[in-house]
Chain A
Amino acid sequence: MDILSELPKEILHKILYFMSQKEAVRTSVLSKSWRNIWCTRPNLDFSDATFKGNKQDFLSLVTRCLQRYYDQRLCVDEFHLRLTLVDYLDYESLVSLLEKWIPLLTNMGLKKFCLSLNSELYSTYLRLPSVVFGAESLQDLHLENFVLDQKTIERIVLLKNLRSLRLRRDWIEDEIFQKIIGSCPLIETLDIERCARLRTITVSDLHHLKYFSSSDMYDSIGELCPIEIHPPSLETIRIRFGNLRLHKGADFRNLNELYLLGANLSWDHMSSCKFPSLKRLRIDTCDELKETELFIDAPNILDFEYDGDFVPSISFATTLNKWCSDINVAYMRLNGAPSLWFLKLNEQLTSLIQSEISLTIDLFHMNDIEEVIRENINLVRYISGGGGGNKHAAVAVETLSLHCNSLMNLSLLHLSHMSSILSSVFSVCRPRNINVDFCIGSKEDRDRIECLWKILRERESGRDEDDRFIQLWSQDLEEVSFEIKRWYPVEEWRLIPLSDFSNYRGKGYDRIRFALQWRGLP
């Protein structure tokens, strides 16, 4: 049955919304009911990347289309144009066409305008025509690869409808940026990526700003670009390589989500800030955090994620016990003894004890086996005789994943280390599940699974020294089972005998794990 063609026009427009102009127009050949659907869709998306003819033909195709929309009094809510410039003639015709198109588009109620250049021409000549900042109807403006200078903003009007501004790889100086921001007082979304010449981002005057994102912002000498914001209105902050200026005691009363990747910020000040609404916090590869004890006043946190190559020291002020933390940490033996690394991990896990913890350890650097055993002895000594009673009690962890294949792909080496490493891990935490990454048909992965099975089920490492450490946890481990989760039709964990697994043919989304039951853990 032809279900699609009988759908109402609004639904077909919705499907066409996600297509480029070329794809949308081609649907006219499907059948008579599709013939004219594309003609009236309210968004236009032109890209010359898939256009075989010359640039002038492409530009006149766009012009004809806009003229037709205008003549038929249709609406254009969104207009996307991606253009590759080969010579200055193209650029000049684009400028004169934009002069012609933008009044038409404004007239047709244009709300969103995305203009993206791709060019190998010397970029300082590709100035954004000033007519763009005269389009009063705009709510959403994306500009890529343009030069924004004094001339660009000579016709700037008060863009009181503009809610969203995105600048990508544009060439813009601080003063011009400030003037643009100053004429768009109601901006709610601001997204800045790789803009050359912008040395500081000061958006503390945007009191309606809810979403702020800044990516890869460096100045000419490679320093991270300082960012000044107005905390109270913000709901989402995403900083990817930038320097966020935080003031002591700032109140981020509406902040829901904070994402920091490779960011610099005044961590001491962050400990004194208030995040009463914060639900999601992600800290990824922030090296300056290494020597800091970070305290986060986020009583409503739901989801915390840390990625890094050192164990951090982060604690939360929250009384909730239904939140998740996801700790992804690389085990690199750079300096300091591995036993101290595990102790630090134990301290970090202890301060997250109220949350449901997922722990992933990336084993970048394997120690030689003698050292691992020596360190295990140290670790056991610390933990059992630490002086402070149960100060170093092993922490319950929901899931544990061990990634051992980052640098070394010699699976045999991994397998011989597996038992020692598990003993170290079990002395600081008690995982309810151990997730195992696997590829269907990979012998290496199957060997790894069998090796884990041997250690966990049969408590056998094949080496006497390791067996001593296995005894330290094996009495607490009451039950082990091997489980599989298929993605479809019902997503749930099911037991599978290990013998069946060797013939298992599944799909890429399937997951496997060992489920562990520990004495004293509910």
Chain B
Amino acid sequence: MAAETGTPTTLTLKSNDDELFSVAESAAILSVTIRNMVEDGCAGGVIPLDNVDGKTLASVITYMNGISAIPADEEKKKSYRDKFLSDKDFETLADMVLAANYLNMSCLMDAVSAKIAQVMEKKSVGWVRRKFGIENDYTPEEEAAVKEEHKWTFEGVETDDDN
């Protein structure tokens, strides 16, 4: 069943927790991974995305639809990205960067990476650990030594109130 020209082709994507999503091919091929699968003819049935869960995939598809509806206009795309990422929590951001990497979507990858970097800016080490769930495996002595080694990077950083 070849797609008729003129009618938009829809792809079905499957997350690793077996949720199914339909998305317009024109939006989905923002992902180089998906584009390659389509070009190799693997898109006939369902496209399994083994490294992305349903919650993250739903977000990524919202982004794909949103950004592909904007014509070539970098400023508007940028403001869409800012808006899109504005209400994402830290765990979602970490999931998204992983998904963007797996799906090979450079624009999303850059936007999420920049957002994470921006969130971390001037924040105390304790705050970043808590927000992103980073496990501290240094002994207090080791941590003090690393801090001492890079003392200059702690000037002007927000003080940590409860760590």
* Chain A residues within 8 Å of B, Cβ to Cβ: 1-5, 7-8, 10-11, 14-19, 22-23, 25-35, 50-53, 61, 256-257, 279-280, 302-303, 487-489, 491, 509
Q: Can you name 14 A-B pairs with beta carbons within 8 Å?
A: A2-B132, A3-B95, A16-B117, A19-B121, A23-B153, A29-B150, A30-B128, A31-B135, A35-B146, A51-B152, A256-B72, A279-B72, A280-B71, A303-B73
As a 0/1 sequence over residues 105 to 129 of chain B, the CB contacts with chain A under 8 angstroms (1 = contact) are: 0000110011011101110010011
Cβ-neighbour of A18 out of B71, B113, B138, B143 (below 8 A): B113
Task: Report chain A residues within 8 Å CB of B40.
Answer: none
A28 near B137: Cβ-Cβ < 8 Å = no
A27 near B135: Cβ-Cβ < 8 Å = no
A4-B94, A7-B98, A31-B137 given; name 6 further pairs at CB < 8 Å.
A3-B132, A15-B97, A23-B153, A29-B147, A256-B72, A303-B71
Of the stretches B17-25, B30-38, B41-49, B154-162, the one at the interface is B154-162
Distance of A175 from chain B, by nearest CB (Å): 34
A2 near B117: Cβ-Cβ < 8 Å = no
Distance of A507 from chain B, by nearest CB (Å): 8
Task: Report chain A residues within 8 Å CB of B136.
Answer: 30-31
Interface residues of B in 45-103 (CB under 8 A from A): 62, 66, 71-73, 83, 86-87, 91, 94-95, 97-98, 101
B113 near A29: Cβ-Cβ < 8 Å = no
The closest CB in chain A to the CB of B146 belongs to A29
In the bound complex, how far is the Cα of B25 from the Cα of A362, in angstroms?
41
In the bound complex, how far is the Cα of B74 from the Cα of A303, in angstroms?
13
The closest CB in chain A to the CB of B136 belongs to A31
Distance of B159 from chain A, by nearest CB (Å): 14
Distance of A261 from chain B, by nearest CB (Å): 13
The closest CB in chain A to the CB of B120 belongs to A23
Task: Report chain B residues within 8 Å CB of A28.
Answer: 146, 150
A27 near B120: Cβ-Cβ < 8 Å = yes
B147 near A50: Cβ-Cβ < 8 Å = no
Distance of B71 from chain A, by nearest CB (Å): 5
B134 near A30: Cβ-Cβ < 8 Å = yes
Q: A2-B133, A61-B152 are in contact. Are A14 and B113 (CB under 8 A)?
A: yes
Distance of A174 from chain B, by nearest CB (Å): 31
Task: Report chain A residues within 8 Å CB of B66.
Answer: 491
* Chain B residues within 8 Å of A, Cβ to Cβ: 62, 66, 71-73, 83, 86-87, 91, 94-95, 97-98, 101, 109-110, 113-114, 116-118, 120-122, 125, 128-129, 132-138, 143, 146-147, 150, 152-157
A280 near B118: Cβ-Cβ < 8 Å = no
In the bound complex, how far is the Cα of B144 from the Cα of A141, in angstroms?
39
The closest CB in chain A to the CB of B106 belongs to A14
B155 near A50: Cβ-Cβ < 8 Å = yes
The closest CB in chain A to the CB of B116 belongs to A15
Cβ-neighbour of B101 out of A11, A19, A29, A302 (below 8 A): A11
In the bound complex, how far is the Cα of B71 from the Cα of A280, in angstroms?
9
A30 near B153: Cβ-Cβ < 8 Å = no
Distance of B81 from chain A, by nearest CB (Å): 13
Cβ-neighbour of A29 out of B95, B122, B125 (below 8 A): B125
A302 near B71: Cβ-Cβ < 8 Å = yes
A4 near B133: Cβ-Cβ < 8 Å = yes
The 10 A-B residue pairs with the shortest CB-CB distance, nearest first, are A18-B117, A26-B153, A3-B94, A18-B114, A14-B113, A52-B155, A15-B113, A25-B153, A29-B125, A22-B153
Distance of A50 from chain B, by nearest CB (Å): 6
The closest CB in chain B to the CB of A3 belongs to B94
A5 near B150: Cβ-Cβ < 8 Å = no
Task: Report chain B residues within 8 Å CB of A26.
Answer: 125, 150, 153-154, 157
A279 near B113: Cβ-Cβ < 8 Å = no
Cβ-neighbour of B135 out of A5, A61, A280 (below 8 A): A5
Q: A14-B113, A16-B117, A29-B147 are in contact. Are A4 and B72 (CB under 8 A)?
A: no
Q: A19-B120, A29-B125 are in contact. Are A50 and B132 (CB under 8 A)?
A: no
Distance of B83 from chain A, by nearest CB (Å): 6
A34 near B73: Cβ-Cβ < 8 Å = no
The closest CB in chain A to the CB of B70 belongs to A303
Q: A5-B135, A29-B143, A279-B71 are in contact. Are A23 and B154 (CB under 8 A)?
A: no
Task: Report chain B residues within 8 Å CB of A257.
Answer: 72
In the bound complex, how far is the Cα of B110 from the Cα of A25, in angstroms?
20
A17 near B113: Cβ-Cβ < 8 Å = yes
A2 near B71: Cβ-Cβ < 8 Å = no
Distance of B46 from chain A, by nearest CB (Å): 24
Task: Report chain A residues within 8 Å CB of B71.
Answer: 279-280, 302-303
Distance of B68 from chain A, by nearest CB (Å): 14
Distance of B124 from chain A, by nearest CB (Å): 9
Distance of B48 from chain A, by nearest CB (Å): 21
The closest CB in chain B to the CB of A5 belongs to B134
The closest CB in chain A to the CB of B142 belongs to A32
Task: Report chain A residues within 8 Å CB of B156.
Answer: 50, 52
Q: A17-B113, A488-B87 are in contact. Are A31 and B138 (CB under 8 A)?
A: yes
Task: Report chain A residues within 8 Å CB of B114.
Answer: 18
In the bound complex, how far is the Cα of B128 from the Cα of A30, in angstroms?
8
The closest CB in chain B to the CB of A20 belongs to B121
Task: Report chain A residues within 8 Å CB of B146.
Answer: 28-29, 35
B157 near A4: Cβ-Cβ < 8 Å = no
B97 near A509: Cβ-Cβ < 8 Å = no
B138 near A3: Cβ-Cβ < 8 Å = no
B132 near A4: Cβ-Cβ < 8 Å = yes
Task: Report chain A residues within 8 Å CB of B118.
Answer: 18
The closest CB in chain B to the CB of A236 belongs to B74
B133 near A23: Cβ-Cβ < 8 Å = no
